[in-house]
Structure 1
Amino acid sequence: MHPVNTEAADTLSTAPAPSKPNTLQDVFGESGVLAAAFSGYQPRAGQLQMAEIIRDAITDSRTVVIEAGTGVGKTFGYLAPILLAGRKAIVSTGTKHLQDQIFSRDLPQIKKLMSSTTRTALLKGRSNYLCLHRLERAMTEGRLKSPDWVTALHTIKGWSTRTRDGDIARCDAVSEEHGIWPLVTSTNENCLGKECPVFDECFVVKAREAAHEADLVVINHHLFCADIAIRQSGFAQLLPEADVVVLDEAHQLPEIASLFFGSALSSGQMIDLLRDIVREQQAEAVDMADLLGVVHQFELAIDPCVSALKNARTDRIAWQELREDKTIQAAFDTLETRLA
């Protein structure tokens, strides 16, 4: 008989459930809660070994690195010792997809099996939450790219009255990849903070408050790195203090970290800024019509920069080589001139 994947199994056992587990054997053993819950379950030595290493690391406040092969059952392997320890914990994933899967499926399942009362929360970056203020602004401005955007905006408006957390991943009728979302979500640059007229209803604020009150918070590596960057600035922090931090899919962390601990500027950020400038000019400074001309000149200068970079030989290019490429340099010289 092959081991059962307890993180995806849907064949429940009819055996009586044991009492609330106190040890890892009570969870993963032949008479444990997993065996009682899933018919055909067989203990996996690798999963138990992983859980024991994590248990000991939590007890001794040590750092461990674990490589778990396919079929080990790593998610339960680290969630079980965390729940048994009863310590404040953060679980960080490489992707939002895995983050949602753990919070919506794996964590509720193992909590139920272990009769755990651990308070849990899901926390993402601010761009993953609907901004009610920017939604209302978008509804009244009437400057949208296409009829499809109009339809999407009205769909989001309807969803905004039903959602409890504002997580755009839960708006099934509008893809997360749709271009409308930057108009109705916020960034650090355009968020009004406590000056916002709907601050008390802010989904970002509510999500962060829930995270600080929770015992176990599920985040992603982008948010983890963003929190470190903000702490280093000395201004604030995004995440609560924790006794235990698990970095799932840790092999993705170096590339994500490079985004936060280096300098970056994308064409998308510039275009979003220009769009916000136009919106504010039309709403607050109609007498500054010349500003639209500056925006237009800036827009014209962005495309050559993007095209020049796309023609580079690879996705990554050394800074010195970038400076020596005459086409790229000319495009950015033009952009700098337009900004002057």
Structure 2
Amino acid sequence: MTLSSATELAEDHPVHAPWRHALTRLSALMPGYEPRQGQVVMMEAIAQANHIGEDLVVEAGTGTGKTLAYLLPLVAAGKRMVLSTATRQLQEQLVRHDLPTALEATGSMQQVALLKGRRNYLCIERSNAAILKERQLVGLISPELQAIQRALMHTQSGDINQVQGVEDSHPIWSEVTSTADNCLGQDCPSYQQCFVVQARREAQKAEIVVINHHLLFADYAIKEKSDGQGLLPSVDAIVIDEAHALEDVATRFFGRSVSSSRFDALRREVSDVVSSLSVPDEQVDPLFSLIRQASQASKAMFAVAEQWSAQPRLDAAKLSQLLSPSQRLIKACLDLSAALSSVASDDVDAVRVLSASIRQFAADTEAVLALPSDEQDLSVRWVEVRARSVAMVARPLEVGPILERTLLAEPASRLFTSATVAIGDDFRSFIDSLGLAESTQTLRVPGTFDYPSQALLYVPSHLPEPFAPGREHAVATEIVRLIQASEGGAFALFSSYRAMQSSYYRAVDNLAGYQVFMQGQESRERLIERFRAEQPAVLFATMGFWQGVDLPGQVLRMVILDKVPFPPPDDPLFAARSARLKAAGQSSFARLSIPSATISLRQGFGRLIRSKEDRGVVSILDPRVRRRSYGRALLNALPPARKTEHFDDVTAFYSDLCD
């Protein structure tokens, strides 16, 4: 728990006095609160790094009080700051609980603002248009639009979280929220009342702004296009919480993609608008002709791409084959956009928005399929063939160069923190992934939970290895045994949808008496809600499903992983990064696969043990952990739970819980 810096301030340095005073007040505000050693060490390190103006990476194990550990020294110092998170849950926790506590403990009057992406706010114009359209078509409006209408009458923020009775995955949200493409901006009749505009104004005035990682990068993208004017104010400190997710968010944000389904949705919208135009036929007919031309060009381009589904990486040779059909599509889109813009229509706003959306699709197509300009091109391009769509994707091979000119160029101190950013005491993988300086200070604060008594790690050695004959049946049988031992309250998590479905259908008939759910049956939010309410419950899902899930107490008491969550070797981005490491004489397995799997496994523990009262078993149904040389490194990097390969120890663990 030592700060990796040659420069350390004395404990009685004046920079520490404000937060130490706040810590004393915190004990009075929160009866029973006692500062934890790791929390105090983290506060000292943050105060020091911020005072010196250096960046700091902190891994703070679950239960250390990480959030207050970074809030108290920064708030007590009066720093203007941006707090960026990966999940909506942590944003809400910060604004509703942790920041009010820190402000009261420090006596600070700093103004706080929560800023989300525009899709999190109701659009007044689009909501009213959707309500009017449905009333005109069917004479009444759906329960979902009724809920949205009620919210518009009472909300001050326009946050869609305030709309009751509409699931997060409901398609109505795309009709009542806006995007950068379809927003009318200052031309909108409701611009002065716009919830997005109001939220951004509040953020500009605030001393503390809470956002998510995606919006952080959106701010930099806007600043690069507008001479430094962005969404966020200038700040003294930037806190990246849930920093383990930052590389993935940056990779996705700064990438581009186009798909046949996106074009088809755009084509339908354009056709509907053109059909409703109150203009002579001699103006409408050419528009429909251009729509057909664009549709034919789209089909031709995506048909060429679809043939490469088995070898999806788009190299220079494949990009050359796509050059001609993509140029025809781009031209057709630009011609259609120009023709739409020239139409004199009463519905000028809808036409203008659609014209801009078509131009954006053309620009994205050009960006995704651009031939590399030189051998140092740092983009990876590939084809994804889905159930009803073909997509072409471009992602940056590494995000370091992008962060160097954006986040790392800010004249502010930066704190990167998470419960899972190090492999043991080694931060190299995280630091390299973001392009941070090798001299960046790091600190690891262990968690405070009693893992040997609270958790058991079960890794059986008798199961067949992945891809071996009989494995699917053996895994499903073991899952049933484990669920029966825990009496439900189990997540069974899989490396692929196919593995998830195979185990679900093999196991479900043997799980009578349990509520058994599978990812995809309902929305994610509804599945979590039902899992919590309809105990004893079991949920079959893929690995990524657990991100942001918080199920305290004994609602979740078993986490089952079908195998070690190594990145899929056929993933084009992973394959490209691996090839680059190999070319440099480095092991991609050691530098990419092991760190990725370790972080995922530790995240699983973090979902299971959230408080001192939680108890449970993590089961990894992958005998390679016992048999391969890398197994010991994986196990040593996990929290120090008791480890076993004997099923009797699992049943004994749950028996002890009942005593």
TM-score higher than 0.5 here? yes
Q: Which residue of 2 aligns with 1:259?
A: 252
Cα pair 1:92 1:246 within 8 Å, conserved = yes
Alignment-mate amino acid for residue 79 of structure 1:
L
Q: Which residue of 2 aligns with 1:43?
A: 35
Q: What CA distance in whole angstroms lies between the structure 2 residues aligned with 1:278 and 1:139?
A: 21
Give ranges in structure 2 of 5+ residues lacking alignment.
1-15, 334-659
Change beyond 3 A, Cα 1:225–1:133: same
Q: What CA distance in whole angstroms lies between the structure 1 residues aligned with 2:273 and 2:232?
A: 32
Q: CA deviation at 1:172?
A: 2.8
Change beyond 3 A, Cα 1:44–1:260: same
Q: What CA distance in whole angstroms lies between the structure 2 residues aligned with 1:187 and 1:211?
A: 19
Identity between Structure 1 and Structure 2 (%) = 36
Q: What CA distance in whole angstroms lies between the structure 2 residues aligned with 1:239 and 1:137?
A: 30
Cα pair 1:229 1:260 within 8 Å, conserved = no
Q: Is residue 63 from structure 1 mapped to residue 55 from structure 2 by the alignment?
A: yes
Superposed counterparts of 1:13-32, under 5 Å: 23-28=18-23, 32=24
Q: CA deviation at 1:54?
A: 1.3
Which structure shows the higher strand fraction?
2
Change beyond 3 A, Cα 1:156–1:290: farther
Of the three residues 187, 197, 201, the one matched with 1:205 is 197
Q: What CA distance in whole angstroms lies between the structure 2 residues aligned with 1:310 and 1:248?
A: 42
Cα pair 1:24 1:48 within 8 Å, conserved = no
User: What per-residue deviation string (whole Å, max 9, x for no partner) do you get for residues 251-307 of structure 1?
Assistant: 2111111223233335565455345424533554564266467658867967x959x
Alignment-mate amino acid for residue 232 of structure 2:
L
Alignment-mate amino acid for residue 241 of structure 2:
D
Cα pair 1:144 1:150 within 8 Å, conserved = no
Cα pair 1:149 1:180 within 8 Å, conserved = no
Of the three residues 270, 274, 288, the one matched with 1:277 is 270
Cα pair 2:204 2:231 within 8 Å, conserved = no
User: What per-residue deviation string (whole Å, max 9, x for no partner) do you get for residues 57-82 of structure 1?
Assistant: 22222111111111111111111112
Of the three residues 235, 247, 252, the one matched with 1:242 is 235
Cα pair 1:22 1:84 within 8 Å, conserved = no
Q: Is residue 75 from structure 1 mapped to residue 67 from structure 2 by the alignment?
A: yes
Give ranges in structure 1 of 5+ residues lacking alignment.
1-20
Q: What CA distance in whole angstroms lies between the structure 2 residues aligned with 1:228 and 1:95?
A: 20
Q: What CA distance in whole angstroms lies between the structure 2 residues aligned with 1:73 and 1:149?
A: 47
Cα pair 2:84 2:216 within 8 Å, conserved = yes
Q: What CA distance in whole angstroms lies between the structure 1 residues aligned with 2:137 and 2:308?
A: 28
Of the three residues 82, 88, 91, the one matched with 2:83 is 91
The 10-residue stretch of structure 1 (139-148 or 127-136) with the greater mean CA deviation from structure 2: 139-148
Q: What CA distance in whole angstroms lies between the structure 1 residues aligned with 2:247 and 2:181?
A: 26
Q: CA deviation at 1:171?
A: 1.5
Q: What CA distance in whole angstroms lies between the structure 1 residues aligned with 2:181 and 2:84?
A: 25
Alignment-mate amino acid for residue 95 of structure 1:
T
Q: What CA distance in whole angstroms lies between the structure 2 residues aligned with 1:309 and 1:35?
A: 62
Under a length normalisation based on structure 2, what TM-score does the superposition of the two structures give?
Answer: 0.42
Change beyond 3 A, Cα 1:250–1:135: same
> Secondary structure of 1:121's match?
strand
Q: What CA distance in whole angstroms lies between the structure 1 residues aligned with 2:218 and 2:178?
A: 16
The 10-residue stretch of structure 1 (186-195 or 205-214) with the greater mean CA deviation from structure 2: 186-195
The 10-residue stretch of structure 1 (62-71 or 108-117) with the greater mean CA deviation from structure 2: 108-117
Cα pair 2:83 2:210 within 8 Å, conserved = yes
Q: What CA distance in whole angstroms lies between the structure 2 residues aligned with 1:154 and 1:294?
A: 38
Alignment-mate amino acid for residue 25 of structure 1:
R
The 10-residue stretch of structure 1 (243-252 or 101-110) with the greater mean CA deviation from structure 2: 101-110
Aligned length, in residue pairs: 312
Change beyond 3 A, Cα 1:195–1:336: closer
Change beyond 3 A, Cα 1:128–1:278: farther
Q: What CA distance in whole angstroms lies between the structure 2 residues aligned with 1:244 and 1:229?
A: 19
Alignment-mate amino acid for residue 57 of structure 1:
A
Q: Which residue of 1 aligns with 2:123?
A: 131
Q: What CA distance in whole angstroms lies between the structure 1 residues aligned with 2:137 and 2:252?
A: 30
> Secondary structure of 1:211's match?
helix
Q: Which residue of 1 aligns with 2:336?
A: none
Change beyond 3 A, Cα 1:41–1:272: same
Q: Which residue of 2 aligns with 1:101?
A: 93
Q: Which residue of 2 aligns with 1:225?
A: 217
Cα pair 1:123 1:219 within 8 Å, conserved = yes
Q: What CA distance in whole angstroms lies between the structure 2 residues aligned with 1:271 and 1:145?
A: 23
Q: Is residue 111 from structure 1 mapped to residue 103 from structure 2 by the alignment?
A: yes
Q: CA deviation at 1:26?
A: 2.4
Q: What CA distance in whole angstroms lies between the structure 2 residues aligned with 1:53 and 1:109?
A: 21
Cα pair 2:134 2:140 within 8 Å, conserved = no
Q: What CA distance in whole angstroms lies between the structure 1 residues aligned with 2:138 and 2:170?
A: 12
Cα pair 1:92 1:248 within 8 Å, conserved = yes
Under a length normalisation based on structure 1, what TM-score does the superposition of the two structures give?
Answer: 0.77
Cα pair 2:80 2:236 within 8 Å, conserved = yes
Change beyond 3 A, Cα 1:337–1:256: closer
Q: CA deviation at 1:336?
A: 4.2
Change beyond 3 A, Cα 1:298–1:143: farther
Alignment-mate amino acid for residue 253 of structure 1:
L
Q: What CA distance in whole angstroms lies between the structure 1 residues aligned with 2:265 and 2:141?
A: 16
Q: CA deviation at 1:201?
A: 0.4
Change beyond 3 A, Cα 1:23–1:313: farther
> Secondary structure of 1:206's match?
helix
